[in-house]
Structure 1
């Protein structure tokens, strides 16, 4: 028993000594590194400055994102997508004449444009062709996953709300980018003629509704006047008053909807909202102004142990030869 106890004490003592030696080595290495850095602090500082300068040169101007939420009217969804595709092609071709004609001056700093639908089945089935769209989704859903169908370009192009995403170098004003793009998208004689017809029809409906509302007011006023003068009102006349009031309320609701619709269809491609000059968040360690200096300093520091290993193996090879 005593022998086993002594052996265990020896083993524990050896383990403790090894841990102590290891800790000492770690501490020594840490202070060696501090001393090494201290001796070369000027070189490291210069490398840091060079890294930051290189990062600024590599980055150039910052890249900003811009977004436009639009609603294509009069069945112009496919037209909208084709126009965005055309602009994207002109960006890649750096077509100076095209961009000059549409009013974008700094076209070389216009990096990209793309469009995607706001995924929403409810806006799709509640559009003007809601019955047709609903039946189409119902039929297509029988053959596959509804989520895939809604993301399919053939389906999503018919959504009512879409997002146009643009990227540029540097910050741009709305008047420099978004306004010229929207003006270009709305230059189409075919859809502009439709827009005029739609607005004329709405205007005529509003005039007709206002006229009917005035006529109903006059009839109701006449019936109420008869009551005040003591004239007898039949049950059917009292019922008619209720129906007239209900009809008037319906006409007012219809007129309000028409006025809202008139605002929506004032452009073929209607801008709903827009945001300019957004930037993606980049984690600080992935920021080039931090990453470049750290990388340069790391290469410099790691070069010393690599050089020692190289020298050691060089001596070994020379001795064997």
Structure 2
């Protein structure tokens, strides 16, 4: 046992020496790396300076460059939702292709070069989708039976039929309703087909309101006669009228339903003056800047790091190529 103790001590001394050597080697490699880095920047200081100035200039340009969004909430009337989506898609394609002639001459937008993008998306509103429309409620239930109700609510086949849609127009500078929104809606509402439907629906709604008013007046007459009759009737007559209470309740309920319909129809008439009816316009919302306007500080760093990476890659590639050539010669 005594002969093993010196050997164990020798092994520990060797291990400590190796660890110390490795630590020393690590610090030496760090110093070499730092020195090479300093030498690289000293050797390429002109290029690095140019990259910093260029990155700052480009970043400053994008930081000071503003963009705006304009949001319009609309209601497509008379089943015109697909028509609306197709028109917005057409306008977006014209903006992408730079067809300023179409945008200015056909659509009537005064400053077509100011446009960056136009898109449309539904405003999720299940309540108004099923309100006073039992068929929509049943359709929603049927679609939800085979899948997740949230997916059904959000998918395009359902969401396109929500009453409200949002049109978003992105511009390079501030826009005005007169030069942008007014001509856009004049273009969207210029459809002979939907104008005919608009006229007929408006006429039908007015006719329905008049018919309901006539029925309500008749119900009021019946209720008035009943009130007068009960006022001057004897006790036995009142018993007879009490037996007719269920019919009177039905009449009163019918009147309530008709009054509710009248309110709905009169509200509908407000929006029926246009095929695509705007309910809210919000202009010139300043778009949030990328990285909070700090591109002038970020881009110089990105440019320099990219330069360092390309040089490191180039050195690595050449080193591996030299090894391959020397290996082939050997």
TM-score by length of 2: 0.67
Out of 264, 271, 283, the position equivalent to 1:257 is 264
Give the secondary structure class of the aligned counterpart of 1:187: coil
Counterpart for residue 217 of structure 1: 220
Give the secondary structure class of the aligned counterpart of 1:167: strand
Out of 242, 245, 252, the position equivalent to 1:235 is 242
Number of residue equivalences: 310
Counterpart for residue 190 of structure 1: 193
Counterpart for residue 88 of structure 1: 92
Once residues 197 and 120 of structure 1 are traced to their aligned partners in structure 2, the CA distance between those partners, rounded to angstroms, is: 27
Q: CA RMSD in A?
A: 5.1
1:62-211 matches, cutoff 5 A: 62-91=66-95, 92-96=97-101, 98-100=103-105, 102-115=107-120, 130=135, 134=139, 162-211=165-214
Give the secondary structure class of the aligned counterpart of 2:223: helix
CA-to-aligned-CA distance 1:275-302 (integer Å, 9 cap, x gap): 5445665663996434431134446767
Once residues 315 and 92 of structure 2 are traced to their aligned partners in structure 1, the CA distance between those partners, rounded to angstroms, is: 54
Out of 12, 16, 26, the position equivalent to 1:12 is 16
Gaps of 5+ in 2: 320-330
Give the direction of change, closer, same or farther, for the CA distance of 1:17–1:279 in structure 2 (3 Å limit).
farther
Cα pair 2:122 2:166 within 8 Å, conserved:
yes
Give the secondary structure class of the aligned counterpart of 1:74: coil
Cα pair 2:100 2:113 within 8 Å, conserved:
no
Give the direction of change, closer, same or farther, for the CA distance of 1:305–1:84 in structure 2 (3 Å limit).
closer
Counterpart for residue 318 of structure 1: none
Counterpart for residue 253 of structure 2: 246
Cα pair 2:110 2:180 within 8 Å, conserved:
no
Give the direction of change, closer, same or farther, for the CA distance of 1:282–1:18 in structure 2 (3 Å limit).
farther
TM-score by length of 1: 0.68
